[in-house]
Amino acid sequence: MNILIIFEMRFKQDTNILTGILDYYGFKKITETSYSTDLSNIEFKELKRKIKEKNIKKGFIMIIPLCKGCYNKIETIGKEILSENKWYVVL
């Protein structure tokens, strides 16, 4: 399942904790506060548990699971680049 995570943190320490978790699961940075990857259902549940355990109070984390149908409907604007077999768009 493709996962998109968007977040905004008040404290740099919270951002570093979250990005460490995202790096562990192989997330790729889209922007400074948005990341994307493909996870199994088990990995997705583990990810949510690990994020909730950190108990981040000042900010928000939006986790958006995308089914293959929705993922295939994504439209991009700008120049597409290939990074590790995944397409991204540079605006």
Domain ranges of the chain: 2-90
Determine whether domain 2-90 maps to CATH 3.40.980.10.
no
Q: Give the pLDDT confidence of 12-41 residue by residue, as tens digits.
A: 999 999 999 999 999 999 889 999 999 999
Annotated binding site: 8
pLDDT of res. 79: 64
| C-alpha–C-alpha distance, residues 36 and 28, integer Å | 5
| pLDDT range class, residue 89, cuts 50, 70, 90 | low
Annotated binding site for Mg(2+): 8
* CA dihedral sign, ordered 76, 82, 87, 90: negative
Q: Give the pLDDT confidence of 55-84 residue by residue, as tens digits.
A: 877 889 999 998 888 888 877 776 665 555
